[in-house]
């Protein structure tokens, strides 16, 4: 017995097993009038997607095949690809597929990012990671499926870099919740998490 899904408009070129016994695949995505972009996806052992990242427009890595992807000792990923003969590239991603650069030995995110909570689904407690490109007024709120705010995890000025916050759901009912990231008063991203008692 096996499980699979169909992903239109793309070709995967490489796959690797990750240190947490999941799988990472990389390839090129092109659909109808959408310009070519590389696409990287992480799957669990059941074939369910854990996260997906695609190239941002107007970067030198757009529209170029990633030929190899492997996990690094820090939990991130190294990607090798082709910019067209005779040029090639090597790109570093962190554990959530965020593209960044190595700066003095530290991985630096060059835009904000809200990661998927871990673990998910979770029992009582889960961790939410996020990254900032500069000092910002940050708010992270949790909502139920009716759109009611049930918790506010962060509401203050936060420095540049990677940060984590813990959500304790022990006083809530099992079910689906959404967490939302706002930066400088503007909602920029949100994700779904599942609480199972």
Tens digit of pLDDT for each residue in 30-72?
Answer: 655 555 567 788 888 888 888 777 765 444 444 466 778 888 7
Provide Rg for the chain, Cα atoms: 18
Tens digit of pLDDT for each residue in 171-186?
Answer: 999 999 999 988 888 8
State percent of the chain over pLDDT 90.
25
Q: Give the span between the Cα atoms of 172 and 2, in whole angstroms.
A: 35
Give the position of tokens 């939410």: 128
Class of domain 113-195: mainly beta
Tens digit of pLDDT for each residue in 125-135?
Answer: 999 999 888 88
For residue 18, pLDDT over 80 is answered with yes
Tens digit of pLDDT for each residue in 137-159?
Answer: 999 999 998 889 999 999 999 98
């Amino acid at each position: 017995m096996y499980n699979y899904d169909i992903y239109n408009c793309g070709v995967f070129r490489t796959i690797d097993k990750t240190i947490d016994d999941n799988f990472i695949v990389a390839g090129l995505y092109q659909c109808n009038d959408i310009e070519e972009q590389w696409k990287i996806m992480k799957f669990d052992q059941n074939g369910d997607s854990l996260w997906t990242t695609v190239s941002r427009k107007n970067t030198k890595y757009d529209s170029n095949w990633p030929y190899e992807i492997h996990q690094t000792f820090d939990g991130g990923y190294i990607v090798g690809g082709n910019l067209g003969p005779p040029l090639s590239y090597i790109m570093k991603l962190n554990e959530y597929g965020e593209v960044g650069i190595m700066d003095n030995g530290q991985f630096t995110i060059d835009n904000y990012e809200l990661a998927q909570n871990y673990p998910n689904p979770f029992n009582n407690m889960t961790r939410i990671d996020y990254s900032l490109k500069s000092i910002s007024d940050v708010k992270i709120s949790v909502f139920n499926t009716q759109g009611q705010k049930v918790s506010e995890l962060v509401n203050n000025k936060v420095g540049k870099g990677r940060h984590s916050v813990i959500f304790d759901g022990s006083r809530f009912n099992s079910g689906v919740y959404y967490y939302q990231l706002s930066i400088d008063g503007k909602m920029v991203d949100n994700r779904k998490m599942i609480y199972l008692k």
